[in-house]
Structure formats: C-alpha cells, structure tokens
C-alpha cells in the first residue's frame, strides 16, 4: 500500500510540475508571438505601403499578449473593481480606436513582459520557501525486524527507528540510539560547523549526516518536526503584512479609480482647450498607462518575502513583515539574563583555599560528599572534578541538610559542604567572611573537623556571543538593558562584564512586564529571552525574540522571531537586515512615485508616447524594483 501511495504521490507531483512547465511555455510562446508581430508590423509599416498587414500584425500582438489581460480587464468592469488589467485593456483598445494600433500593441506587449517578470519574482520568493521544504528527504529508511524498509516520512510513526548512513539527510526528528557522527545543522541553525552526535543526542529532520552511521528513534511525526514548523511559520509570515505594506494595499485599492477619473479629466480638458479628439484621447491614455501601480504595489511584498526567506536560511525565523518593520525601528534591546546572556548552567569558576590546604584537596572533599546529590550545585562540582581528573573517594557517611548542604565523614574526619548558614550551624569560623576575595557568585564553603579549608565559587557562565552582541548593538546606537530575577550583586556583575547600559535585579515575571512597558515609552523595544518563563515580557515588547528555539517548540509558538541557536550576534544581524529591508522598501516606493510623477507631468504636457510610458513607467520600473528587492536574499554581515 505504501509503495502505491508513494508512486501516486510522486506521479501527482510530476504531473503538477509538468502542467506548470506547459503554462510557462505557453506564456513565453505568446510573448514571442506578440513581440515578433509587433516588430514585424513596425518594419512593414515603415518600409512598405501595405496598410492593412501592419494593422493585422499589431492586432495579433495585442491579442497574444492580452490572452489573460483583456478578459481580466473586462471582468473587473463587470465586478466594478477597477484594477491594473483594466487600465492596460482600455489603453490598448483606445489606442487602436484612435488609429494608433502600433502604440496599443507596444503597451500590451510591454505590460505582458512586466507581468511575466512579476510572476517570476513571486516564483523566486516561493522557491526560497520550497528550498526549505525540500530539505526533508522524500523517503526514510526504517528498521523493521532487522530489515531496512523505505517509507514516506508521513508513514513513519513515533517510536520507530530510522537508519541514517553517511551522506544521508535526516528525515525525522528523534533521539540517537546507536552510532556516532557529525551532523551539519546549517539548514536549521544557519551554523555550518558540524555538531557531534552520540547516543542520547537530539537529531533534526533536514540536517545532513556526514561520516558516521546513526540509528534514530523517532520522537515526532513528520508534520510536527522542527523543520515542518519552520516551513509553516515562513509560509504564514507572508500573511502578516507590515504597516507600510498594508497602507500600500489600501492605497492601491483607491488609486486606480482616481487615475481613471484623472485621465478622463485630462482628456476632456485637452479637448476643451482646442485639441482634436484623437490627441485628447491619446494624452489621457498615456497618463492612464504611466499611472499603473504595478511597481509601487510590488515593491514591499517582494522585499519582505526575500528577507523572511533569507533569514530562515540563516537560522532566524521571522513570523511576518510587521516584525521586520518594528525591528528596524528598535531603540532598546532588553535581555533576560539566565539562559539568554548566560548558559543557564552553574560551573565552578574559582576555588579559594584556606588553612594551608590545596585546591585538589578541597575539590576532592567536596565531591566525595556531593557525588550522592542531584542538586545543580552538586552537578557543577562533579563536572569540575571530572575536568580536573581528581579522584573521588567514597564518603564513609553522609547526610543531607535541606536548604543548607551536606555533612559526612571521610578517613576519620568530619566534613561539611554548603552555605554560610551550614557553617555557622557546624561552628565553623569562615576565613575572610566580610570581604571575600574569591569573586562573585554562589559561594560553597568546605570545612574539615570544624576548620574552613576552602571555598568554591559557582557562576552561571556567560555565552561567548553575549558581549560581542551587546558591543555591536551599542555601536548601532541601540540601548541595552538586562532584566533578571537574580540579586543586585550578580546582576551588576553580569551587566559590567557584557557592557550593558542598564540592568534591573530581583524582578518577578510580572515586574519584567511592567519594566518593558516603561522602557517602551522611549521607543520601540525588542525583548530577547528563552521564550518560556519570560513569555509575558516577550509578548509585551514590540518584538519578542526567543533564542535556542531548536530545543523548544514553545519558543517558536510564543515569539515573534525565533533564533534557532544560541548565537546572540544574530540579534544585531537581524536589526541590520531589517533596517536594510526598510531602506530598500523606501527607495523602491520613493523611486516609483518620483518617476511616475515626472512621466505623468510629461504626459500631461503631451511630451510622452504610449510605448515609452509603458517601457519606462511600468516594465522598466518593475524590473528595477525587483532587482533592488532581491539584493536582500544575499547574506548580511553584522557590523559593530
């Protein structure tokens, strides 16, 4: 059944692709017929005296190029919804009626070429999304009863094991249960450096296995994989228009009727001033053609889709054009601390020794007691012990003191590892109690037989990209603020280390929301967090960015923009790209309006021909707008 289903599916896809290819061939053939007829008609008209042949060729040119344009124009009259096709239909037919069939043919042919260009521009934007969809292989190898069976990803169930050989693209999300390899996750995170995968590691659909053999236990259905969510989000982003784009859409709706009325009044005024009926109609038709809003209406959506699709390839998932526009206006970027600027994992940053002991002894004593605990502090101490390759002796006895630490015996000595309160309870006098020289962080004290022998300092380590990202943001004149639930001392330390402009400590989730509201009074705010425990603050900001979304479905759902990895330098990169996008949008809109204003003025004065109006005011301008917008598909380099 599966093989039949797969074959049928492949047949449908092939049939659809074939139909699209035929459609394009027909369109190109019509464009060729129209163009050749137009050129032939002009040559015969110039070099011979055969009057009716050029007219026939011009009509063929109009009908070929107007195969879809003229019917759409007529339908728009019936529906009383005047659009661009109506303008071109009136211009072409009007030119023929006043004895200028060559001009009418030129208008229809050049407009048809502009339509094909617009369609190709849309196809290129859709291709950006299609390239993401094609990252999922058409079939996966499933291990069933020791045999390898090929299945469509849609037919694979949760819990089944898939086989990934060297060079294969992973077809489903899951956990590695056998093998070891390096996987290129650039399709998801934008980071080309391969990631080592061993048993227990998460693997993602669309990523590329390199040199090793892997068996992966499927944890999500094909429709729920991370790649599927990315594709769905990018598709949905096309529906969320920026404010500028919505304005242009509304403007275009009223623009065409106004243009028709203006052209009519121009023709009427020209006729009343003494010009002939032919000259008056010709001048009105020229203004009608010049005023076609194609390039104007196309300038924004092409730019937005190019940016959204290009960002997705680099591991930045933007949910709509409105967030690109808002990001470009950012005045302040607010960062959550734990799990965002820091790794959210405690590590031993320093070990102070007292009373003539050494670091190895202190670490050995601490780990001998902490090895039996599952507390995050215990895990950090054991990780440091592993890294230093210190031997961990078993404690003779040990007992947990809730909220304070651990006490026990080892080699006939009594030991305690924990907080200052535990030390006081055990009667231990701390060395340098008032002014501790070990540094800032979580302090874990170690005592032996009632004497303070050492202090371990644990810190939540900063991400390597944190300071770089904040430096780049400050270089762009953007203020940076840290909001954290940690105490004043820790917040101040992190703020100073990364170079943030301001920080607020001891904040509860609802207080973070109020802080973001306060900061918004000074301009557009971007909030960067993990997308889970700071979701209310992300929702309150103008733009909420969740980082590390590769490991959190919730982050993709809650944030306006999701960074698939934990590289914070993508925040200034995104702002740079957003500013560039809006700059190109403004350039395109400004260029469209300016050029049409100049050409419109010339047409009012009778200094513009129909064919030149369409060549410059529509086709030429459309080509320019599209080329300008597609610059956004190139990678943006973040600069400080």
Mean pLDDT calculated for residue range 586-605: 86
Q: Which of 103, 203, 123, 220 is nearest to 163 (CA)?
A: 203
Helices 621-629 and 101-133 meet at what angle, rounded to 10?
10
Token digits for 195? 């990631």
Query: pLDDT value at position 235?
Result: 60
Query: pLDDT value at position 5?
Result: 34
Distance, in Å, from the CA atom of 254 to the CA atom of 261, rounded to the nearest integer, reads 11
Distance, in Å, from the CA atom of 553 to the CA atom of 149, rounded to the nearest integer, reads 30
Q: Is 336 a catalytic residue?
A: yes
In a 3-state reduction of DSSP, which class is residue 144? strand
Residues 501-549: pLDDT tens digits?
999 988 877 788 899 999 999 999 999 987 556 777 888 899 999 887 6
Query: pLDDT value at position 637?
Result: 54
Helix (H) / strand (E) containing 404:
none
Phi, psi of 104 (to 5 degrees): -60, -40
Residues 305-325: pLDDT tens digits?
778 877 877 888 888 888 899
**Bridge partners, 348 (sequence order):** 458
Mean pLDDT calculated for residue range 231-253: 62
491 versus 246: the higher-pLDDT residue is 491
- Residues of the chain with pLDDT > 70, as a percent, come to 83
pTM of the model: 0.67
Q: Which of 182, 175, 183, 172 is nearest to 142 (CA)?
A: 172
Distance, in Å, from the CA atom of 341 to the CA atom of 538, rounded to the nearest integer, reads 15
Distance, in Å, from the CA atom of 455 to the CA atom of 438, rounded to the nearest integer, reads 8
Among 173, 336, 560, 565, the active-site one is: 336
Mean pLDDT calculated for residue range 51-77: 89
Query: pLDDT value at position 635?
Result: 59
Instruction: Please name the residues in contact with 555: beta carbons below 8 A apart, sequence gap of 6 or more.
Output: 530, 531, 532, 546, 547, 548, 549, 562
32 versus 239: the higher-pLDDT residue is 32
Q: Which of 6-20, 129-143, 585-599 has the lowest mean pLDDT?
A: 6-20
Query: pLDDT value at position 178?
Result: 92
Mean pLDDT calculated for residue range 382-407: 83
Q: Which of 315, 374, 383 is nearest to 343 (CA)?
A: 383
Distance, in Å, from the CA atom of 375 to the CA atom of 383, rounded to the nearest integer, reads 12
Query: pLDDT value at position 435?
Result: 47
Query: pLDDT value at position 132?
Result: 59
Give how far Cα 397 sits from Cα of 366, 394, 449, Å: 13, 9, 14
Give the mean pLDDT of the chain: 81
Token digits for 553? 């479905």
In this predicted structure, the answer to whether residue 289 has a pLDDT above a threshold of 90 is no
Distance, in Å, from the CA atom of 303 to the CA atom of 626, rounded to the nearest integer, reads 8
Query: pLDDT value at position 40?
Result: 92
Structure letter (DSSP) for residue 211: S
Query: pLDDT value at position 192?
Result: 56
In a 3-state reduction of DSSP, which class is residue 595? helix
Q: Which of 233, 228, 236, 231 is nearest to 173 (CA)?
A: 228
The gap between the terminal CA atoms of the chain, to the nearest Å, is 58
Query: pLDDT value at position 104?
Result: 82
Token digits for 461? 């380590």
């Amino acid at each position: 059944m599966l093989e039949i289903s797969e074959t049928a599916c492949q047949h449908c896809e092939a049939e659809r692709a074939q139909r699209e290819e035929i459609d394009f061939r027909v369109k190109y053939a019509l464009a060729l017929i129209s163009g050749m007829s137009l050129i032939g008609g002009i040559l015969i008209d110039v070099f011979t005296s055969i009057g009716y042949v050029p007219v026939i060729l011009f009509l063929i040119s109009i009908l070929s190029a107007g195969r879809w344009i003229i019917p759409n124009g007529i339908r728009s009259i019936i529906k009383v919804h005047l659009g661009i096709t109506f303008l071109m239909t009136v211009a072409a037919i009007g030119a023929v009626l006043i004895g200028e069939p060559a001009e009418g043919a030129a208008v229809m042919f050049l407009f048809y070429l502009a339509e094909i260009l617009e369609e190709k521009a849309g196809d290129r934007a859709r291709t950006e999304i299609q390239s993401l969809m094609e990252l999922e292989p058409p079939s996966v190898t499933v291990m069933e009863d020791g045999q390898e069976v090929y299945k469509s990803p849609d037919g694979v169930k949760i819990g089944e094991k898939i086989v990934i050989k060297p060079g294969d693209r992973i077809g489903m999300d899951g956990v590695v249960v056998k093998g070891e390899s390096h996987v290129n996750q650039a399709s998801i995170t934008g980071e080309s450096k391969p990631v080592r995968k061993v048993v227990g590691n998460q693997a993602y659909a669309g990523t590329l296995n390199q040199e090793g053999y892997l068996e992966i236990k499927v944890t999500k259905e094909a429709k729920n994989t991370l790649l599927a969510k990315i594709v769905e989000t990018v598709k949905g982003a096309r529906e969320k228009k920026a404010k500028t784009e919505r304005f242009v859409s509304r403007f275009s709706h009223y623009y065409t009727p106004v243009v028709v009325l203006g052209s009519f009044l121009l023709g009427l005024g020209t006729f009343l001033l003494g010009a002939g009926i032919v000259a008056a109609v010709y001048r009105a038709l020229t203004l009608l053609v010049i005023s076609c809003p194609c390039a104007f209406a196309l300038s924004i959506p092409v730019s937005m889709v190019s940016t959204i699709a290009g960002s997705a390839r680099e591991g930045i998932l933007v949910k709509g054009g409105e967030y690109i526009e808002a990001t470009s206006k950012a005045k302040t970027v607010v960062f959550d601390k734990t799990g965002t600027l820091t790794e959210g994992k405690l590590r031993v940053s320093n070990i102070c020794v007292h009373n003539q002991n050494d670091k190895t002894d202190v670490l050995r004593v601490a780990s001998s007691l902490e090895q039996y605990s599952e507390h995050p502090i215990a895990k950090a101490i054991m990780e440091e012990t592993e890294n230093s390759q210190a031997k961990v002796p078993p404690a003779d006895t040990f007992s947990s003191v809730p909220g304070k630490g651990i006490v026990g015996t080892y080699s006939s000595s009594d030991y305690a590892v924990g907080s200052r309160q535990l030390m006081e309870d055990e009667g231990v006098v701390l060395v340098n109690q008032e002014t501790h020289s070990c540094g800032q962080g979580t302090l874990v004290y170690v005592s032996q037989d009632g004497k303070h022998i050492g202090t371990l300092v644990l810190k939540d380590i900063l991400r390597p990209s944190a300071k770089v990202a904040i430096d780049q943001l400050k270089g762009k004149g953007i203020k940076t603020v840290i909001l954290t639930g940690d105490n004043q001392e820790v917040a101040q330390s992190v703020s100073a280390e990364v170079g943030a402009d301001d920080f607020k400590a001891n904040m509860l989730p609802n207080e973070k929301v109020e802080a973001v509201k306060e900061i918004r009074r000074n301009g557009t705010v971007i909030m960067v967090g993990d997308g889970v425990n700071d979701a209310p603050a992300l929702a309150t900001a103008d733009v909420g960015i969740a980082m590390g979304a590769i490991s959190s479905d919730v982050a993709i759902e809650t944030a306006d923009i999701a960074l698939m990895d934990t590289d914070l330098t993508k925040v200034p990169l995104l702002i740079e790209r957003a500013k560039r996008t809006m700059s190109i949008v403004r350039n395109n809109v400004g260029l469209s309006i300016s050029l049409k204003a100049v050409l419109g003025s010339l047409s009012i004065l009778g200094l513009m021909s129909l064919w030149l109006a369409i060549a410059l005011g529509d086709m030429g301008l459309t080509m320019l707008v599209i080329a300008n917008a597609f610059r956004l598909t190139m990678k943006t380099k973040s600069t400080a």
